[in-house]
Amino acid sequence: MNDTTAQSTLSDAHSRVDTNETTMSTNTTGTEPTVGASTAGHSWFDRPVPGVKHRLTAPLTAVETEPSTECSNCHSMITNTALIFNCYVCPHCDHHLPMSARERLQWFLDQVDGELGQEFVAKDPLAFVDSKPYPQRMQEAQANTGESEALIVLYGKLRNIEVVACAFDFRFMGGSMGSVVGDRFVQAAEQALAEHKPLVCFAASGGARMQEGLLSLMQMARTGAAVERLRLAGVPYIVVLTNPVYGGVTASLAMLGDIHLAEPKAMIGFAGKRVIEQTVRETLEEPFQRAEFLLEHGVIDEVVHRHQLGDTIYRLLAKLCHVPNVDA
């Protein structure tokens, strides 16, 4: 009995909906015959309405109007505005694209109070020439990046913690470490030490700068000594390894942190994969030297998505510096 009642109620409802639809369509055509006639060939939405601007016939796509960047992983085109808002992470495949040092620091710090080490200028003591003279290479890198060297040091605030933060710019001669990079890093560490502020370093480098020969190799010892002074004084030093970190930077300041974080799929190593393959005569499979591989083998502490980096570093620093966590 109940089933039959339910079915009859349902069929009643259907017939009511049908009647409503018929009524609506009759009303539309019946009450506005003139509009339909005047916009013959146009859709109902395109009809002219007094006081409302007519929409463009061919809507412009964002790609046509804005400069865009191709994702190196999934090859989709992303507008530069979308990239900036997404911290240079591809919205389609989550690939972490390269980020300039200054943008990274400005995005990381909640308040920037100043910059360190701008007074240091690179010299050319070896009068080094490869395919181009070293000073010419420097000028080109400065013109292309708008920076004077491969390391940028800013100090300011991360929420309620005063920090000194530095970042390598890989676009500037492959983020290579010359004497000025060493000078700036040591100055950053000394300021952190003097004011007892934690130091955060975003590393991205191909290694030491061969144009400066031994002077660039000496920076490994200098920066290592500066980090050791921080350790003795109990000042936290956090390293974030971004894609890629190699050579003398891996062999010094980038592997001496109290905590090592890395961005997903970042390539981190000392010698390149090909050089190692030639030496050990073995084929090294894909995850080799990736951040996830290093995490599995205990080289780094955590792989952190770029969107979570700021919060993760803040939580760690709040604990290490015994500062109340304002996010908690």
Largest CA distance in the chain: 101
Q: Which stretch binds Zn ion (CB under 5 A): 28-36, 41-49, 92-100, 177-185?
A: 92-100
Measure the CA dihedral 38/39/44/50, to 10°: -70
Q: According to the binding rule CB under 5 A, does residue 90 interact with Zn ion?
A: yes
Residues 129-188 that bind Zn ion (CB under 5 A): none
Residues touching Zn ion, count (CB under 5 A)? 7
Give CA–CA dist 326/174, Å, rounded. Answer: 37
Residues 264-303 that bind Zn ion (CB under 5 A): none
Residues 25-84 that bind Zn ion (CB under 5 A): 71, 73-74
Tokens of 220: 């490994």
Read off the DSSP letter of residue 284. P
Cα 234 → chain centroid: 29
Q: According to the binding rule CB under 5 A, does residue 97 interact with Zn ion?
A: no
Query: Within a 10 A sphere around the Cβ of 305, how many other Cβ atoms?
Result: 13
Bond prior to 125 in cis (omega within 30° of 0): no
Helices (H), ranges, 146-196 = 179-195
The site string for Zn ion over 185-224 (x = CB under 5 A, - otherwise) reads ----------------------------------------
Q: According to the binding rule CB under 5 A, does residue 93 interact with Zn ion?
A: yes
* Residue from 66, 68, 69, 95 binding Zn ion (CB under 5 A): 95
Please say whether the beta carbons of 152 and 195 come within 8 A: no
Which residue, 96 or 137, has its beta carbon nearer to Zn ion? 96
Q: Which stretch binds Zn ion (CB under 5 A): 45-53, 90-98, 142-150, 189-197?
A: 90-98
CB of 76 to Zn ion, least distance (A): 5
Kindly list the residues in this chain that would bind Zn ion in the complex (CB under 5 A).
Answer: 71, 73-74, 90, 92-93, 95
